Amino acid sequence: MDNKLIEITELKKYYIVGSQTVKALQGVTLTIRKGEYVAIMGASGSGKSTLMNLIGALDTPTKGDYILNGSDVSHMEDEELAEIRNKEIGFIFQTFNLLPRNTALENVVLPLIYAGTPKLEREQRGKDVLKSVGLESRMTHKPNELSGGQRQRVAVARALVNNPSIILADEPTGNLDSKTSVDIMRLFDTIHEHGNTVIVVTHEEDIAMHAHRIIKLKDGLVEMDVVNKEITVA
């Protein structure tokens, strides 16, 4: 059975900055299978953020092909990309990206509103997923009433609520202290154990060590792609 979730072939991304052409990605080829736990690493300027934006359908490549769960994302228009993002990808950002005036539950069900899910169903799914991340007692709290770790758990719940193909996390512990970071990575481990495909973009070695596979970028190319034999268990 073919369980390829992501197929990227000779992916290139160039930006025009003034009179200069910045070659952010110079030909990346990789495959990620369903159920993998992958860390994408690299120094500033390595191309990892550009690759994350392409995997997350936030941008389209200059050249190359990107197949996500059977759909060719490389040449999609904005409206199609938005649909793919909402259906296939659960995003978790360093800055949480929560709406400040909305409760935890209201923040979590936003992707379901965009998907047209009926109100009763989306509220139940929102409650279930908040419970799964240990926040059943915080559903009616607004972001400013939550700790950093709790806010990131709300963001994780929002990423999970649509049952996406991929959980895509960008520096998910970047705004958290070390103890809270351990708690969040433990949550990621659990999410992966439940069968989810998890991709974490990070520059932190200790965060990457939770993943089962580590991909390192340098100068817009894959420098290293290895199985992690020393997985950190939180």
| Number of domains within the chain | 1
Residue 161 falls within a domain, yes or no? yes
The pTM (predicted TM-score) of the whole model is: 0.92
Can you give the pLDDT at residue 94?
Answer: 85
SS (H, E, C) the chain: CCCEEEEEEEEEEEEEECCEEEEEEEEEEEEEECCCEEEEECCCCCCHHHHHHHHCCCCCCCEEEEEECCEECCCCCHHHHHHHHHHHEEEEECCCCCCCCCCHHHHHCHHHHHCCCCHHHHHHHHHHHHHHCCCHHHCCCCHHHCCHHHHHHHHHHHHHCCCCCEEEEECCCCCCCHHHHHHHHHHHHHHHHCCCEEEEECCCHHHHCCCCEEEEEECCEEEEEEECCCCCCC
Instruction: Kindly state whether residue 207 falls inside one of the protein's structural domains.
Output: yes
pLDDT band, residue 234 (cuts 50/70/90)? low
pLDDT score recorded for residue 5 = 96
**Domain range spanning residue 185?**
36-46+82-227
| pLDDT at residue 44, rounded to an integer | 87
Q: At 155, which CATH number?
A: 3.40.50.300
Residue 13 domain flag: no
Residue 179 domain-assigned (yes or no): yes
The predicted pLDDT at position 13 comes to 96
Average pLDDT rounded to a whole number, residues 207-220: 96
208 assigned to some structural domain: yes
Q: Is residue 232 part of a domain?
A: no
- Averaged confidence pLDDT in the chain: 93
Q: Return the pLDDT at 174.
A: 87
15 assigned to some structural domain: no
- Within-domain flag for 24: no
